[in-house]
Structure 1
Amino acid sequence: MKDGKEILKRLSFLDFREDEYASLVASRSSNPFETLVATVISQNTNDRNTMRAMKNLKERLGYLTPEKIMELSDEELEELIRPAGLHKQKAKYLKLIAERLSGGALEEILSLETEEARDRLLEIPGIGPKTADVLLSLMGRETIGVDRHIARVSSRLGISDGSYEATRRALMNIFDKKDYLRAHLLLIKLGREYCRPRNPRCGECPLRDICDFSHSLKPGDSD
């Protein structure tokens, strides 16, 4: 089993800014619904585009609530979030989410124990495991969201090469509970800068000596 404390120690030099993580920026508003909206919009796009879409929404609506999202026409909502791509699909899901969470339902869900809250969130169309886990972790709950970067890093390190849930559980086993959010952010940063899908920078990676993928490479396979 990999040592979570050692991994975080080695990654501590990585310099990341809050504005590299749209959901983290949204969480500073202390509005869980805004955090959820940002996380949904961030799917299959980068944080810069997500924040452009969020800026449009907040300039139009102010403090984001399910009721305000529901008041928008489908066409206006689609246009507001267009910068993030897949705007028709995301607008459809935001409307469904807003309908299910109106009247304080999100606050009620977040008052539950973590796994029960997670199960309730997963019942809502448009909220998948990653979205639920990112929201909960940013609300201070003990879980780890697994995005594409974290899934790739986890597989290459040899932490987990299984399903989303297998990877989430494996990460929760090796990291201390107090470090879950920090681990999430640092593993994303590692995946973006070093453990890239193509041309990974294995020779410069701070985890190269404990990485199964790096050990499997022949000289010259990576930069």
Structure 2
Amino acid sequence: MRYDPRRHLWSALSVAQVRALFTTCPARWWLSGGWAIDHWHGSGSPSRPHGDIDVSTLRPALPALRPALPADLRPFAARRGHLFPLGKRHDDPEVHNIWVHDPGRDRFVLQINLEDGAETGWRYRRDPRITLPWDSAVASVDSVPTGTPVTQLLWKSPDPRPRDEHDLDVAHHLLGPAQRRWLRDAVRLAHPHSPWADDPRLGHP
């Protein structure tokens, strides 16, 4: 079915609900997207409205992650503006996002992003030259594995929307000099036309 924002509405899980859902899951997973930035910010309340909530995992780990979802939730593969029942589509290399639907409320509640990596570390799906050790890509924040600000901002960097600019405003204060250099260099390598390639919030060469 074609995605229609007027019909396909969201009522996202909370961070606490996500943690409860996956706390015993054997698969590698982590909080990602805008909520990851706010979770690092640690103000106790979101710094901006969030329309959804994301977790990420590696594609090969998805079969181990799916059993953590309650049986009444239905996963859909989101691809090119359409939503398909997931089935075995996680093997489709063009499926990178899974939307989880709660039929009882007729709302989507969670997005699962399929990312790249190996045992040794995380790899940026949009440019495999960019890698990080796992302990630099994901860290525990209040017992929730959470994507680090540099990885989340890199995903947001190709064509930043107003909410992405807000997230950079919030997150750049959390970065040390080495992290700012890494992010600036990664943006310049993967997305040289990004407005963040020369953004003073990421420092100067």
Specify the TM-score bucket, using the shorter chain as the normaliser.
Answer: under 0.3
Larger helix proportion, structure 1 or 2? 1
Greater radius of gyration (CA): 1
Larger strand proportion, structure 1 or 2? 2
TM-score by length of 2: 0.28
TM-score by length of 1: 0.26
